[in-house]
A and B are shown apart, each in its own frame.
Chain A
Protein backbone atom coordinates (compact mmCIF):
# COMPACT_ATOMS: atom_id res chain seq x y z
CA UNK A 1 0.00 0.00 0.00
CA UNK A 2 1.62 3.22 -1.05
CA UNK A 3 0.59 6.62 -2.27
CA UNK A 4 0.38 5.58 -5.89
CA UNK A 5 -1.92 2.59 -5.29
CA UNK A 6 -4.99 4.77 -5.02
CA UNK A 7 -3.88 6.56 -8.16
CA UNK A 8 -3.69 3.22 -9.93
CA UNK A 9 -7.19 2.34 -8.70
CA UNK A 10 -8.50 5.63 -10.04
CA UNK A 11 -6.66 5.10 -13.29
CA UNK A 12 -8.46 1.80 -13.81
CA UNK A 13 -11.75 3.53 -12.98
CA UNK A 14 -11.10 6.25 -15.54
CA UNK A 15 -10.36 3.61 -18.16
CA UNK A 16 -13.60 1.82 -17.29
CA UNK A 17 -15.66 4.99 -17.67
CA UNK A 18 -13.98 5.70 -20.97
CA UNK A 19 -14.87 2.21 -22.12
CA UNK A 20 -18.48 2.89 -21.10
CA UNK A 21 -18.46 6.04 -23.19
CA UNK A 22 -16.93 4.13 -26.10
CA UNK A 23 -19.74 1.57 -25.95
CA UNK A 24 -22.33 4.34 -25.70
CA UNK A 25 -20.94 6.08 -28.75
CA UNK A 26 -21.05 2.80 -30.63
CA UNK A 27 -24.72 2.43 -29.64
CA UNK A 28 -25.53 5.98 -30.70
CA UNK A 29 -23.71 5.65 -34.00
CA UNK A 30 -25.54 2.43 -34.82
CA UNK A 31 -29.00 3.59 -33.78
CA UNK A 32 -30.27 2.95 -37.32
CA UNK A 33 -28.02 0.10 -38.43
CA UNK A 34 -30.02 -2.75 -39.90
CA UNK A 35 -27.17 -4.84 -41.29
CA UNK A 36 -24.50 -6.43 -39.13
CA UNK A 37 -21.89 -9.14 -39.59
CA UNK A 38 -23.87 -11.59 -37.44
CA UNK A 39 -27.04 -10.76 -39.37
CA UNK A 40 -30.07 -8.73 -38.35
CA UNK A 41 -30.10 -5.25 -36.85
CA UNK A 42 -27.41 -3.94 -34.51
CA UNK A 43 -27.98 -4.98 -30.92
CA UNK A 44 -27.49 -2.49 -28.12
CA UNK A 45 -24.31 -3.19 -26.12
CA UNK A 46 -23.55 -2.77 -22.45
CA UNK A 47 -20.23 -3.04 -20.65
CA UNK A 48 -20.08 -5.21 -17.52
CA UNK A 49 -17.53 -4.20 -14.92
CA UNK A 50 -15.59 -6.47 -12.60
CA UNK A 51 -13.03 -5.87 -9.88
CA UNK A 52 -9.34 -5.77 -10.71
CA UNK A 53 -6.58 -6.52 -8.23
CA UNK A 54 -4.26 -3.54 -8.02
CA UNK A 55 -1.71 -3.92 -5.25
CA UNK A 56 0.20 -7.12 -4.72
CA UNK A 57 -1.25 -8.70 -1.60
CA UNK A 58 0.97 -8.20 1.38
CA UNK A 59 0.55 -10.34 4.42
CA UNK A 60 -1.65 -8.79 7.08
CA UNK A 61 -2.50 -5.58 5.31
CA UNK A 62 -6.19 -4.76 5.44
CA UNK A 63 -5.87 -1.96 2.93
CA UNK A 64 -4.46 -4.21 0.23
CA UNK A 65 -7.61 -6.29 0.32
CA UNK A 66 -9.81 -3.20 0.38
CA UNK A 67 -8.18 -1.60 -2.65
CA UNK A 68 -9.54 -3.02 -5.86
CA UNK A 69 -9.60 -1.40 -9.24
CA UNK A 70 -12.20 -1.96 -11.92
CA UNK A 71 -12.00 -3.44 -15.38
CA UNK A 72 -14.39 -4.22 -18.19
CA UNK A 73 -15.00 -7.92 -17.73
CA UNK A 74 -17.23 -8.29 -20.77
CA UNK A 75 -19.44 -6.47 -23.26
CA UNK A 76 -22.91 -7.97 -23.42
CA UNK A 77 -25.61 -7.51 -26.02
CA UNK A 78 -29.01 -6.24 -24.98
CA UNK A 79 -31.53 -9.09 -25.33
CA UNK A 80 -34.54 -6.85 -25.92
CA UNK A 81 -36.44 -7.47 -29.14
CA UNK A 82 -35.58 -5.17 -32.07
CA UNK A 83 -37.85 -2.21 -32.66
CA UNK A 84 -40.31 -2.87 -35.50
CA UNK A 85 -40.77 0.07 -37.85
CA UNK A 86 -43.25 -0.01 -40.72
CA UNK A 87 -41.39 0.97 -43.89
CA UNK A 88 -42.19 -1.25 -46.89
CA UNK A 89 -39.79 0.66 -49.15
CA UNK A 90 -36.79 -0.22 -46.94
CA UNK A 91 -34.54 -2.85 -48.60
CA UNK A 92 -34.37 -4.80 -45.32
CA UNK A 93 -38.12 -4.79 -44.75
CA UNK A 94 -39.76 -8.16 -44.11
CA UNK A 95 -42.68 -9.39 -46.22
CA UNK A 96 -45.19 -7.65 -43.95
CA UNK A 97 -43.41 -4.30 -44.51
CA UNK A 98 -41.85 -4.05 -41.06
CA UNK A 99 -38.13 -3.32 -40.61
CA UNK A 100 -36.32 -4.59 -37.54
CA UNK A 101 -34.43 -1.58 -36.18
CA UNK A 102 -31.84 -1.63 -33.34
CA UNK A 103 -33.34 -1.62 -29.83
CA UNK A 104 -31.69 1.70 -29.00
CA UNK A 105 -33.35 4.71 -27.45
CA UNK A 106 -31.33 7.88 -27.65
CA UNK A 107 -32.60 9.14 -24.30
CA UNK A 108 -31.21 6.07 -22.55
CA UNK A 109 -27.88 6.45 -24.29
CA UNK A 110 -27.69 10.12 -23.34
CA UNK A 111 -28.33 9.25 -19.70
CA UNK A 112 -25.58 6.63 -19.82
CA UNK A 113 -23.26 9.15 -21.40
CA UNK A 114 -23.91 11.74 -18.68
CA UNK A 115 -23.45 9.05 -16.04
CA UNK A 116 -20.08 8.08 -17.46
CA UNK A 117 -18.98 11.71 -17.71
CA UNK A 118 -19.97 12.52 -14.13
CA UNK A 119 -18.30 9.39 -12.84
CA UNK A 120 -15.14 10.28 -14.75
CA UNK A 121 -15.19 13.76 -13.24
CA UNK A 122 -15.70 12.40 -9.74
CA UNK A 123 -12.65 10.19 -10.11
CA UNK A 124 -10.57 13.06 -11.45
CA UNK A 125 -11.60 15.10 -8.41
CA UNK A 126 -10.49 12.29 -6.11
CA UNK A 127 -7.24 12.20 -8.03
CA UNK A 128 -6.72 15.94 -7.43
CA UNK A 129 -7.35 15.41 -3.73
CA UNK A 130 -4.70 12.72 -3.58
CA UNK A 131 -2.16 14.92 -5.33
CA UNK A 132 -3.09 17.82 -3.05
CA UNK A 133 -2.60 15.61 0.00
CA UNK A 134 0.80 14.49 -1.28
CA UNK A 135 1.86 18.08 -1.82
CA UNK A 136 0.63 19.09 1.62
CA UNK A 137 2.58 16.19 3.09
CA UNK A 138 5.73 17.43 1.36
CA UNK A 139 5.24 20.70 3.22
CA UNK A 140 5.34 19.08 6.67
CA UNK A 141 7.59 21.07 8.98
CA UNK A 142 7.92 24.02 6.66
Chain B
Protein backbone atom coordinates (compact mmCIF):
# COMPACT_ATOMS: atom_id res chain seq x y z
CA UNK B 1 0.00 0.00 0.00
CA UNK B 2 2.14 2.83 -1.28
CA UNK B 3 -0.90 5.06 -1.62
CA UNK B 4 0.19 7.46 1.05
CA UNK B 5 3.55 8.28 -0.53
CA UNK B 6 2.15 8.23 -4.04
CA UNK B 7 -0.80 10.46 -3.48
CA UNK B 8 1.39 12.99 -1.72
CA UNK B 9 2.69 13.72 -5.16
CA UNK B 10 -0.73 14.37 -6.53
CA UNK B 11 -1.84 16.80 -3.89
CA UNK B 12 -3.35 16.20 -0.56
CA UNK B 13 -5.91 13.63 -1.46
CA UNK B 14 -4.77 11.04 1.03
CA UNK B 15 -4.62 13.18 4.17
CA UNK B 16 -8.14 14.29 3.36
CA UNK B 17 -9.17 10.72 2.77
CA UNK B 18 -7.51 9.64 5.97
CA UNK B 19 -9.17 12.46 7.85
CA UNK B 20 -12.52 11.52 6.40
CA UNK B 21 -12.01 7.86 7.18
CA UNK B 22 -10.95 8.73 10.69
CA UNK B 23 -13.94 11.00 11.07
CA UNK B 24 -16.18 8.20 9.92
CA UNK B 25 -14.58 5.83 12.38
CA UNK B 26 -14.91 8.32 15.19
CA UNK B 27 -18.54 9.09 14.46
CA UNK B 28 -19.22 5.39 14.15
CA UNK B 29 -17.62 4.74 17.50
CA UNK B 30 -18.88 7.69 19.48
CA UNK B 31 -22.27 7.66 17.79
CA UNK B 32 -22.14 11.29 16.80
CA UNK B 33 -20.98 13.02 13.67
CA UNK B 34 -18.24 15.57 14.14
CA UNK B 35 -15.58 17.07 11.98
CA UNK B 36 -12.16 15.87 13.01
CA UNK B 37 -9.04 16.40 10.95
CA UNK B 38 -5.71 14.59 10.81
CA UNK B 39 -3.86 17.58 12.18
CA UNK B 40 -6.18 18.18 15.10
CA UNK B 41 -6.92 15.04 17.04
CA UNK B 42 -8.50 17.09 19.87
CA UNK B 43 -10.00 14.31 21.95
CA UNK B 44 -13.18 15.70 23.49
CA UNK B 45 -14.39 14.92 26.94
CA UNK B 46 -17.55 13.08 25.99
CA UNK B 47 -15.91 10.74 23.52
CA UNK B 48 -15.53 7.10 24.35
CA UNK B 49 -12.26 5.23 24.99
CA UNK B 50 -12.10 4.05 21.42
CA UNK B 51 -12.11 7.48 19.87
CA UNK B 52 -9.61 8.70 22.45
CA UNK B 53 -7.20 5.97 21.41
CA UNK B 54 -7.80 6.78 17.77
CA UNK B 55 -7.29 10.49 18.33
CA UNK B 56 -4.01 9.80 20.07
CA UNK B 57 -2.94 7.54 17.21
CA UNK B 58 -3.69 10.15 14.59
CA UNK B 59 -1.80 12.68 16.67
CA UNK B 60 1.29 10.47 16.68
CA UNK B 61 1.07 9.91 12.94
CA UNK B 62 0.33 13.44 11.81
CA UNK B 63 3.92 14.61 12.40
CA UNK B 64 5.54 12.19 9.88
CA UNK B 65 2.68 12.94 7.49
CA UNK B 66 3.27 16.67 7.79
CA UNK B 67 7.01 16.07 7.26
CA UNK B 68 6.22 14.16 4.05
CA UNK B 69 4.12 17.03 2.83
CA UNK B 70 6.89 19.52 3.60
CA UNK B 71 9.42 17.39 1.73
CA UNK B 72 7.24 17.10 -1.36
CA UNK B 73 6.64 20.83 -1.29
CA UNK B 74 10.35 21.59 -0.95
CA UNK B 75 11.17 19.19 -3.76
CA UNK B 76 8.55 20.73 -6.02
CA UNK B 77 9.97 24.17 -5.31
CA UNK B 78 13.40 22.88 -6.31
CA UNK B 79 14.87 23.61 -2.90
CA UNK B 80 18.24 22.22 -1.88
CA UNK B 81 18.36 18.75 -0.38
CA UNK B 82 19.29 15.20 -1.10
CA UNK B 83 16.84 13.03 -3.00
CA UNK B 84 17.40 10.08 -0.69
CA UNK B 85 16.53 12.19 2.33
CA UNK B 86 13.25 13.20 0.74
CA UNK B 87 12.48 9.59 -0.09
CA UNK B 88 13.33 8.52 3.43
CA UNK B 89 10.97 11.09 4.89
CA UNK B 90 8.23 9.84 2.57
CA UNK B 91 8.97 6.29 3.68
CA UNK B 92 8.69 7.28 7.34
CA UNK B 93 5.32 8.85 6.63
CA UNK B 94 4.30 5.70 4.80
CA UNK B 95 5.23 3.40 7.68
CA UNK B 96 3.50 5.64 10.21
CA UNK B 97 0.40 5.73 8.07
CA UNK B 98 0.39 1.95 7.71
CA UNK B 99 0.67 1.73 11.47
CA UNK B 100 -2.32 4.02 11.84
CA UNK B 101 -4.36 1.94 9.42
CA UNK B 102 -3.41 -1.30 11.17
CA UNK B 103 -4.29 0.10 14.58
CA UNK B 104 -7.57 1.45 13.19
CA UNK B 105 -8.45 -1.93 11.73
CA UNK B 106 -7.75 -3.61 15.05
CA UNK B 107 -9.89 -1.10 16.89
CA UNK B 108 -12.76 -1.56 14.48
CA UNK B 109 -12.44 -5.32 14.76
CA UNK B 110 -12.65 -5.00 18.52
CA UNK B 111 -15.66 -2.70 18.21
CA UNK B 112 -17.43 -5.13 15.90
CA UNK B 113 -16.65 -7.96 18.26
CA UNK B 114 -18.24 -6.05 21.12
CA UNK B 115 -21.26 -4.96 19.11
CA UNK B 116 -21.99 -8.59 18.27
CA UNK B 117 -21.98 -9.61 21.93
CA UNK B 118 -25.64 -8.81 22.44
Total chain B interface residues with beta-carbon distance under 8 A: 10
Scan A67-79; emit 1 where CB is below 8 A from any B CB, else 0.
0000000000000
Binds B, one of A11-19, A82-90, A91-99, A105-113: A11-19
A135 touches B82 (CB 8 A): no
List residues of chain A with CB within 8 A of the CB of B88: 7, 10-11, 127
A residues 117-142 with Cβ under 8 Å of B?
124, 127, 131, 134-135, 138
List residues of chain A with CB within 8 A of the CB of B92: 4, 7
In the bound complex, what is the Cα–Cα distance between A72 and B84 (angstroms)?
A: 17
Task: Name the residue on B nearest A131 (C-beta).
Answer: B91
A15 touches B95 (CB 8 A): no
> Is A62 among interface residues, defined by CB-CB distance under 8 A?
no
In the bound complex, what is the Cα–Cα distance between A10 and B98 (angstroms)?
A: 21
A11 touches B91 (CB 8 A): no
A3 touches B95 (CB 8 A): yes
Task: Name the residue on A nearest B88 (C-beta).
Answer: A11
Q: Which of A11, A124, A127, A138 contacts B99 (CB 8 A)?
A: A138
> Is B102 among interface residues, defined by CB-CB distance under 8 A?
yes
B95 touches A131 (CB 8 A): yes
A-B contact count (CB 8 A): 28
List residues of chain A with CB within 8 A of the CB of B82: 14-15, 18
B85 touches A134 (CB 8 A): no
Task: Name the residue on B nearest A137 (C-beta).
Answer: B99
Task: Name the residue on A nearest B98 (C-beta).
Answer: A138
B residues 75-93 with Cβ under 8 Å of A?
82, 84-85, 88, 91-92
Q: Which of B91, B98, B99, B102 contacts A7 (CB 8 A)?
A: B91
List residues of chain A with CB within 8 A of the CB of B91: 7, 127, 131
Q: Which of B84, B95, B98, B102 contacts A14 (CB 8 A)?
A: B84
Shortest Cβ distance from B65 into chain A, in angstroms?
14
In the bound complex, what is the Cα–Cα distance between A134 and B95 (angstroms)?
A: 7
| Partner-B contacts on A (CB < 8 A) | 3-4, 7, 10-11, 14-15, 18, 124, 127, 131, 134-135, 138
**17 interchain pairs, CB-CB under 8 A:** A3-B95, A4-B92, A7-B88, A7-B91, A7-B92, A11-B84, A11-B88, A14-B84, A15-B85, A18-B84, A124-B84, A127-B88, A127-B91, A134-B95, A135-B95, A135-B98, A138-B102
